[in-house]
Amino acid sequence: MSKRVVITGAGVVHSLGTELEEFWENIKAGKSGISKIENFDAADFPSQIGAELKDFDPGDYIERKEAKRLALYSQYAIVSAMKALENAGLEITDEIADRTGVIVGSGIGGIEVFEEQVERLHSRGPRRVSPFFIPMMISNMAAGNVAIYSGAKGPNMNTVTACASATTAIGEAFETIKRGAADIMIAGGTEASITPSAVAGFGNMKALSTRNDEPEKASRPFDKDRDGFVIGEGAGIMILETLESAKKRGANIIAEVVGYGASGDAYHITSPAPEGEGAVRAMKAAVERAGMKPEEINYINAHGTSTPLNDQYESTAIKKLFGDHAYKLKVSSTKSMTGHLLGAAGGVEAIISAMAVKENVVPPTMNFEEGGEGCDLDYQPNKAGEAEINAALSNSFGFGGQNACIVIKKYK
């Protein structure tokens, strides 16, 4: 008999809150976590705004000396993972360590370490480069460090599928449990890319919003006046486990993961495939893996980046898969509040989707005034709503045409 996979804990590190309850309350209230960038002087950059963590302190979980040897994205992952374990009421003992794994996605890894050390190489010479440079920077170290801090000794890996990284991680963790390779998985994504090189690179691609005078209104998914995404940072980590394991320890079950689908556009390095063709296949695969019909999905947490092509093509993809039901669905992009966390986006959005399912709350799409071309669905504009949400679909699409979607269902 196929194993059921449930969500028993969640941890978030974000400018909207580093406690799950605070973060979720701010999402329901439509609060923005976006402001002027302060961690470096962005005055000469086309985009000067982001959902930036300004007062992050890992001190409750990581010793100050040790933190200096960890890239920021690893720190975010460790803290969110430890918070998720606390939320799940789970201690990883020797008895369960071998059956507890970790999959944490990150699109870029320790980019601030890369910038700092390359600058040191050029200004001070090769002998002044830190011996910790490589193990701080490489993108698998978030998963490695989460295992070190939690004691999880099962399957351990890193997914890198650009902005789909965290959703890929959760989907692969779901499949790892389904095939019997683990009983518990710590899964999600982390990113710390609000750095000069990243903001300059995305900015010069014309991918970022330049609405610098109105940071809170800059991310406006599906709106006709959208002009690019707003970069964010942080982490979102879930605890997934077999229903048997959760029941055995009397865990509080938030929701159930029932489907995962992935696809490749095979089209372009940055632009989505025409008409969202790749997104259609990923969504369809997730719904089919869940053993559901499209009309059984009640809510979609859209990728919804606030970029012209993504929002139009994602809307088209939803209409292609769901037909007439597309107009009955509740859809929202919470990136309007969180910004776009790149490789961590899907982790945070999966948590939002799970809470939406649990509480029958439809999170808002803020700053939506008038739909852009092809954007004519019910995007839950500007205020949270209430609706019976039995099943939600969380979408993530990344550069390189890498798409991942998961279906989260009410636990019954």
Which residues are CB-neighbours of 34 under 8 A, at least 6 positions away?
Answer: 15, 49, 50, 51, 215, 216, 218, 219, 230, 232, 337, 339
Written in H, E and C, the secondary structure of the chain is CCCCEEEEEEEEEECCECCHHHHHHHHHCCCCCCEECCCCCCCCCCCCEEECCCCCCHHHCCCHHHHCCCCHHHHHHHHHHHHHHHHHCCCCCHHHHCCEEEEEECCCCCHHHHHHHHHHHHHHCHHHCCCCHHHHHCCCHHHHHHHHHHCCCCCEECCCECECHHHHHHHHHHHHHHCCCCCEEEEEEEECCCCHHHHHHHHHCCCECCCCCCHHHHCCCCECCCCCECEECEEEEEEEEEHHHHHHCCCCCCEEEEEEEEEECCCCCCCCCHHHHHHHHHHHHHHHHCCCCHHHCCEEECCCCCCHHHHHHHHHHHHHHHHHHHHCCEEECCHHHHCECHHHHHHHHHHHHHHHHHHCEECCECCCCCECCCCCCCCCECCCEECCCCEEEEEEEECCCEEEEEEEECCC
**Active site residue: 14, 122, 268, 340, which one?**
340
Candidates 21, 197, 36; CA nearest to 112 is 197
Task: For residue 375, indicate whether it is catalytic.
Answer: no
Please tell me the distance from the alpha carbon of residue 341 to that of residue 325, in angstroms, as a whole number: 29
Partnered with residue 406 across adjacent β-strands are 260, 394
Helices 345-359 + 20-28 axis angle, to 10: 80
Task: For residue 325, indicate whether it is catalytic.
Answer: no
**Active site residue: 14, 122, 268, 303, which one?**
303
Candidates 107, 110, 104, 111; CA nearest to 158 is 104
Please tell me the distance from the alpha carbon of residue 290 to that of residue 278, in angstroms, as a whole number: 19
**Active site residue: 14, 163, 375, 405, which one?**
163
Task: For residue 14, indicate whether it is catalytic.
Answer: no
Which residues are the active-site residues?
163, 303, 340
